[in-house]
Each structure stands twice: as C-alpha cells, then as structure tokens.
Copies of this chain bind each other. A is one copy, B any other.
Amino acid sequence: MSETTVRTGAGPAAPTSGALQPLGLSAVTLDPDGLLGAWQQRSAEATLPHCLEQLEVAGNIGNLRRVAGAAAPGSFRGMWFADSDVYKTLEAVAWELGRSGGSREALDELTALLEAAQDDDGYLNSYFQTDHRDEQWTALVWSHEMYCAGHLIQAAVAASRAGAGDRLLGVARRFADLLVTRFRAEDGVCGHPEIETALVELYRTTRHRPYLDLAARFVELRGRGLLGDEPRFGRHYYQDHEPVRDSTEVTGHAVRQLYLLAGVVDVAVETGDTGLLDAAARLWESAFGTKTYLTGAHGSRHRDEAFGDPYELPPDRAYAETCAAIASFAWSWRMLLATGDHRYADELERVLYNGIAGSTARDGTHFFYSNPLQLRTGHEGSHEDAPSERLSWYSCACCPPNLARLVASLQCYVATTTDAGVQVQLYAAGRIETTHGVIEVETEYPWDGRVTLTVTPASPESEWTLGLRIPGWCGSATVDGSPAEGPYADLTRVWEAGDRVVLDLAVHPRVVTAHPRVDAVRGCAALLRGPLVYCIEQADQDARLEDLALDAGQPVESGTGEGPIPVVLRARGVHTAPGDAPLYSAPLSGGPLSGGPAAGGSVPVTLTAIPYFLWANREPGAMRVWIPLTNGPLANGPLANGPRS
C-alpha cells in the first residue's frame, strides 16, 4: 500500500501503512433499510441527541462551564473522568457531520466551551480544574487525566477529518503538546490506556512526530511498575505487571487491556515495529482463543471489570462491557488493516452484530453497560451493572457515547482497499466508492445470505480484484452459483459498468458447543444463524426458561418472527419440571446425569429463539444463549455445516 499523508476525509484509524487500507469517511453510504444502515440512522436520530441531552442532565457539560466561568461555581458532578463522555459524544457529532452533513451547532458550542475552559498551558480536565488543582498529575494511576486527553484528541481528529475545521484540533494539540513536554522526560503512564491510540491518530492527522514518539514511549513504559501496586486488584488490573512486548495473555480490566492493544497496533504500524505487532497478534490469540464470549464480548468478571482466567466464561455473570466490545472492535480492525488476516474481520462481524448491537434497545435511548448471556428467573435487577432491562443512562456513562461514536462511523468498516482491489468485509446494503470503482450492494443480510453487488469501475480497462469475505461461520457459499472458497472469494476481472455478482452465503441455523474447558456452559449448546447468536427468552416460552432443554438431534428451523424480529429459530426440546428436587443429591441408580432433565416427566416443547441483540425489548424476563442439551445424540442433517462452522 502506498504511504499517504494527512487525512482530511479519513475515518477512525488511518494507518500510513499496512496490508489493507481503510476507506474514507464518505466512501461508503449505508442504506437505511439495511440492518447496519438503520442502526446508524437510529443512532443519529435517537442515540446522539440523547447523549447530548444526558450530558447536560448529568452535569458533564456543567462541569466544563464552571471551569470556563460560564456558570455559577459549584461542585463537580459525576465521575472524575466525566469529561471523557463529552469528548466521545463530540467525536460522534464529528463523524456524523462528516457522514451526513448534520448540524455542527453542538460541535461549535462545545469547542468554544473547551477553549474557554482550557488553561493557558494546555491543561484541560474539569475535575482537576475545580477543587482538585493541587492534585493534577499527582496520581496517574487513577486520575484518568491522559485517558480524558485521549478522548479529546480523538474527538478533535474526527472533527478535522470530517472537514469541520481545526479549531477543536487546536485545543487538543495544546493539551497534547503539554503531554509531550511533560512526559518526554518524566516516566509516567496513565492508569487507563487510551492516550496511546489517540496520540498516534493525532500524529497521523498532523504528521507531528513527537506525538507518535510519546505514544511509543507510553507503550514501552507500561509494565514496569510505574503505577505502583494496585491495592485491591494487583498490577494486572491496569496491565502494569509486565511489558506488552513480553505479554502472552490478556488480563486485568478488559477495556484498559483492549484500548492499550489498539494503541499498541497503532504504534507498531507507524514505527514499523514488527516485534510489537507480533506481541499484539499473540495477545489476540490469547483473547480469542480462551477469553471471548460467543457474542464476541470480553470481560468475565464484575469485581474488577476484568478478563478472568482462561476459559472462565460464565454466561450469567458475564460482564461483557459494551465499551470492551467497542474496544475489541477497534483492536481487531487495526489488526485486520495491518495484516489482512480474515480472522480479524470474522471477529469484527461477530462482536458487532452481537456483543455491541445487543447493548442498545430498539428505541436507541436505552443501553446495557454489561451484556450477560443469561438472565435468570427471579433476577434481582437493582444493580446498575446487572439490571433486568436496559437503562437510559449510567452513573458511569462511558458506554452510550462510545456507541454513538462507533455507529456514526460504522460505514468506514464495511470495506478495505489495496492497490490490487477492494475487499468487502461486512455485508450491508449500500454503496462503496473506491479508487477502483463503485460497488452497489443489495442485501437483506444478515437475515438473508444473498448479496448482490453491482460494479461500476473507475476506469474501463484496468483489472482489479473484488474480494468477498466468506465468513468463518459459513459452511457453504457460492458466487454466481459456483462454489466459493474462503477466506475471500477473489474475483479478478477487467470490470465493466453494470457487472453483477451474486454471493450466496448459507445462513442455515447452526448449533455450536463450547470447548470442554469452558465449564460454565458444559452440556449446553447455542443456536446461531449467519453471524447472529440467538437466545431464548421467557416471553416466547410457556414453561420456566431454566427447565427447558434443547434436543440438538432434531432439526432447527428458521421461521418468520413477529414485529421487529424478521427471523426466529424454532428447535425441538423438552420441558422438565424439577419438582422439589434438592439442591444436591445422589443421582438415582441408572438415572439421569447431573443437570440433564429427568428421564421421566419431560414434555416435548418447541423452543423459539430470537437474535441475541434483540433481547430484552419486551417485558423483562429470563434469557439464555446457552441451552442445556437433552442427552440425545446429535443427528445428521442441517446442523452439520462442515469444518468451518
């Protein structure tokens, strides 16, 4: 790929080298009738205004106004890193502006406010500019000062790339220059990674090398004990237990780990540090080999919002924070661009349609912070981190603005390009413009596996390759009726205007089981269809959800759902009332194994499953992705999708 320079028009993550190149902010238009396009539209119309409103209600903007002298003095409100929610929302505003040309009112107003609030030396953090001035830079371990700076920088980079001018970039650069001045000499890292990727992105937009150097320095300094001993959770919590370069296992606070690794890839790519990129690839294997939920989500523990031990993946107490899923998406995207390895794209798709999409209610204004794969009957939902339904806002409201900024730039992740052609990574109805040509995509994916692509080449005689990703979950694909092999079906042609290609991805219902070391879902299976994980929800079942079992020996069928659920799955199973079985007992001689339904007293039932991302949009009730299996054998038939399934 050719090196390019500064980047107006670029989307999030604009590396100057790598196997694949991202498309610009305006290159792809998502059709609002498609799933991704509708999500993006809903986010623009509902989620983003909701975030702006809540930042007022919750006091985030008021904190900045008080620093700027634009409001009466008062106490700081919210979490001490509340500024970051403002920045993430601003980033969403900027991407939205670049995408749809929407209103720039919020951007201009907030930029003016930030200019007014910023100290002369560039410092900006409303918590440490109110009652806590003497604490500036005194406690990097928890202060989130550079974390907030990172989000400011990312917002400013987005505004610049979106063509909204460089006024916010000026604010960000003044703060970044202060960081360079201070931390070029001083050994220190932030307790919460985020500044690393932000500084590289700022470098990409400004070509100012000290930003990249500082990011690289922060990566190198991590894992050397500069943050001291975290008294409750240990140094693993913020990945200060060992240098990234030596790490073999993702650990600690999931969002911290994943933001760090996105920045690690950014640094590795811009500095040509292959050893560092290898470390990121190794850690990616650790994450996706032993510590990832079926939904693509990360983080098994509520206690410290952490990755747990390998194979520790409880569905009910999955923390699976929305922000971790977004961070994971950012990391895999960078790995894909750097290496071109399709497996990263597979994970992008998985986490997008499940771990991320499931966070947001159909109204676009209610969100899960934690995204469990099971909710029990009788769940006590008074905790903010384990509610029975999505909430409209959070005391720590990191997730909703994070969703807004991702979804406002969602079109940027649909395809990549190289000198040799175009790679379609995610299938969504819309239009892809590249230097090679324009590709119109018609599809009802993921509900239907047919994707029709109509090509208009940029020049009439040059040959280039249209690469169509065959997802790892897909056991059978055809292009124009002929069997197609993955990971990419590469169509190399001299394209003519109007050339049509029909890709058919088999989206049969699938049954998957987990690695035997995933104790928490032993004896269970999950239902999937295409990229979508399905779940069973109490609203669709007569019997108590916990007492249902799946007969995976019978075929699972797709069916038409009601209302907003285009496709449901129907499977055969049994209901077994446990009666007054004791909590622990000796199995009767010749009787059933633990956890399976009793041999007698089981009633056949049909299990109706809905896409996981649509759960909890009806009355609150039990839900589960992993369904206990009856003890019958797995039958041949539509479940056997071959080795790639």
> Which residue numbers of A lie inside 8 Å of B, CB to CB?
231-236, 241, 249, 251, 288-290, 292, 294, 301-304, 308-312, 314-317, 374, 376-380, 382-385, 395, 510-526, 546-547, 552, 576, 578, 581-591, 593-598, 626, 628-629, 631, 633-637, 639-642, 645
Contacts and interface: CB of A to CB of B under 8 A. Distances in A.
A224 B127 CA distance: 36
Copies of this chain, how many?
2
A380 B251 contact: yes
Contact of A312 (B302, B316, B597): B316
14 contacts: A232-B395, A234-B383, A236-B382, A290-B583, A294-B584, A303-B385, A309-B380, A515-B583, A515-B585, A516-B597, A523-B595, A525-B593, A586-B641, A589-B634
Contacts of A231: 395
B583 A289 contact: yes
Contacts of A547: 516-517
Contact of A595 (B233, B235, B513, B581): B513
Nearest to A378: B310
Given A512-B584, A583-B515, A633 B382 contact: no
A151 to B, nearest CB: 24
Given A303-B303, A317-B317, A595-B518, A513 B584 contact: yes
A454 to B, nearest CB: 33
Interface of chain A, main secondary structure = loop
Contacts of A626: 519
A344 to B, nearest CB: 16
A382 B234 contact: yes
Given A523-B523, A583-B288, A641-B586, A379 B233 contact: no
A581 B512 CA distance: 13
B523 A593 contact: yes
A630 to B, nearest CB: 9
A482 B311 CA distance: 51
Nearest to A645: B586
Contact of A382 (B235, B546, B629, B645): B235
A515 B590 contact: no
A635 B512 CA distance: 30
Given A380-B309, A511-B586, A515-B584, A523 B303 contact: no
Contact of A232 (B383, B515, B634): B383
Contacts of A636: 589-590
Nearest to A596: B516
A317 B596 CA distance: 23
Contact of A585 (B395, B512, B581): B512
Contact of A515 (B303, B378, B578, B631): B578
Contacts of A587: 511-513, 525, 552, 634, 639
Contact of A524 (B315, B552, B595): B595
Given A583-B518, A586-B639, A524 B594 contact: yes
Contacts of A594: 513-514, 516, 521-525, 629
